[in-house]
Every structure is written in structure tokens, then in C-alpha cells.
Amino acid sequence: MATNNSEADNSGAPIGPVDATRVPRYAEPTTFARLPRLDEVSRADVTILGVPFDSGVSYRPGARFGPGHIRAASKLLRPYNPALKVSPFANQQVADFGDIGVNPFDMQEALTTVQSAVTDLRADGSSVLTLGGDHTIALPILRSLARDHGPIAVLHFDAHLDTWDTYFGQPFTHGTPFRRASEEGLIDMERSQHIGIRGPLYSEKDLEDDRVLGFQVIRSDDYEVDGVASIVERMRKRLDGGPVYVSVDIDVLDPAHAPGTGTPEAGGMTSRELLNTLRGLVGLNVVGADIVEVAPAYDHAEITGIAAAHVAYELLSVLALNR
């Protein structure tokens, strides 16, 4: 197996990605951005965790293969982010834990497994960036974080509210995690926000219920009317003052930018709009993040995987600057 030919030395500096000028990008390793595995470093400031689970989906399955697809698309990422003027792998140690095994047939066991894994990885102060998987996994992650931080502001990028009550009588699905989180007291009801909402709803009551659960809505159409700078200003005003968890459902992007997802909706954000919005998180207290609902069976030319990998890169850059 190839070794990590990075810029690391014996000074204790972070071990970065394999040097692409010495080992072709399409070669090993298969970790995110060809970073070291967690067992190759003494500790990580940020741990990449894969959760290959999609038993909560209501339409097209396949997000269980999302973590591997995002990692494959991340091979082209480079060490320096010129937009934020930061080297996210040099300013902090980032390592890839790999994927956890999650029971696809027992929802309660799956939720417990995810919560325990995130709690264990966070035990030494590491932040966790999770690659899903479907959006059900946001609930156990928030359960873990709330144990230490109390109620957290959730910044939720999605075409859908994900605050519905049940599907087929089941309370734990990819469309219900933030209703359960609000009911369990995990989210800060004065500081949480959806961005990118669009498409048909079951009824007007969906929006009424969502407000009661503690969310403010920024629609996808608002980008056309107000522009990115205005959206970022509104976002920062809403989130300021405490810990923030960022949850990115890749279907927040228009299907032209992310076809590989289970519940696509027309009229979505561009990848440029999403990346620029994420850069607006610099200076806020981001304590964790996820990228979910990447379903490679419906992807074309890695369009969705590439978008998701760049979302992860911007989030890692934000965490580096916020250290």
C-alpha cells in the first residue's frame, strides 16, 4: 500500500494530503482528499466520518454509497483555498476515520451506532465532518453534540424542510430529523435556519409547523431576488451568539448541479451560490457538519460527488480559519 508522501516532517506539523506532484491523484490512498487515516496520526482536529446508511429514504435509495463517491471525487482537491486564503490541511490536522458499520434493518440500533461513533470521535476535542448517508443521521449527531453544547443552532441547507412528523407512521426518516431534534430540545429555536427551501409541500401547515419548531426559512428563490451577500448577512445575524451545526443535503443544489440524489427538486441553488454562502461562516462557532443524500447511482460524470467534495473542502477551510 502507498505511504503518505505529504509535506509532513518531525516538527509535529499536521500531516496533509499525499503530494499530487509525486503520486498521481488517481492513485492511493482512497481517503478523503488523500489525507491520512485517523490511525496514522496521534490525534485529529477534524475527523472525516463516513456513514453509509440510507434506510430512512422515502423515494430513491442509494445514499449508502455516498461516502465512497464523495471520497473518490475529492482526489482532485488541492491544499490551498484562494477564496478564503487558507490551507485547511496545514492549519489543522484532518484525518479520515473511514466508514462505520450501521445496521440497515434496525433504525433504533442505527441511530445509537451513529451517536456513539460521533461521541467517541469527539472525545479528544476533534470536530467531526460526516459524509452520509441519508438525512436521518443528523438526529443522532445532534444528540451527541447537544450533550456538550446544549441546544445548537442548526443551519440546514436543503430543498426540503425535513420537519415532517412521520412517514407511514414511522417517526425516524430522512424527512423528520429536525422535528425530532426540536422536540428533544437539541436545537436552539431562536437561531436555527433553513436555506434553499423550494418545491411543493403537502400543505401550508408544513410551514406553520416549521416556524413553531424554531426555524427561519430562506428560500432558493431569495438568491435570485436578494443575492448571496444579502443571504449571508441574514444567515450570520441569525446564527451569531453560540454553537452552530451545519447540515448540507446535496439536493439543496439544482439537479443540474447535483443530479445524484434521492429527492431532486427543480429550481435549486448553483454550486457557486452554495460555496460562497458556506464561506460566510468564517468567524462563527461551527462545531460540526454533515453532507448527506449523495446517491451515486443517479450521478453523471461525478457532478454530484465533485460538488459534495467541494462543500466539504469549504467547511474544512472555515473550521481552519475558526480555530
On average, the pLDDT of the chain sits at 96
Instruction: Determine the average pLDDT of the residues in 306-317.
Output: 98
pLDDT tens digit sequence for 245-272: 999 999 999 999 999 999 999 999 999 9
Would the pLDDT of 317 be above 60?
yes
Would the pLDDT of 11 be above 50?
yes
Report the alpha-carbon distance of residue 173 to residue 38 in Å, rounded.
30
pLDDT tens digit sequence for 186-203: 999 999 999 999 999 999
Check: CB of residue 314 under 8 Å from CB of residue 275: yes
Report the alpha-carbon distance of residue 102 to residue 191 in Å, rounded.
31
Check: CB of residue 178 under 8 Å from CB of residue 187: yes
pLDDT for residue 28: 83
Contacts of 70 (CB under 8 A, 6+ apart): 32, 131, 291, 294, 305, 308, 309, 312
As a CATH number, domain 39-322 is 3.40.800.10
The grid cell for 255 is 439537479
Q: Which helix (H) or strand (E) holds 211?
A: helix 205-212
Q: Where are the domains of the chain?
A: 39-322
Check: CB of residue 322 under 8 Å from CB of residue 282: yes
Is the full-model pTM beyond 0.75? Answer: yes
Output the CA torsion 171→177→182→184 (10° steps): 60
Report the alpha-carbon distance of residue 177 to residue 185 in Å, rounded.
12
pLDDT for residue 235: 98
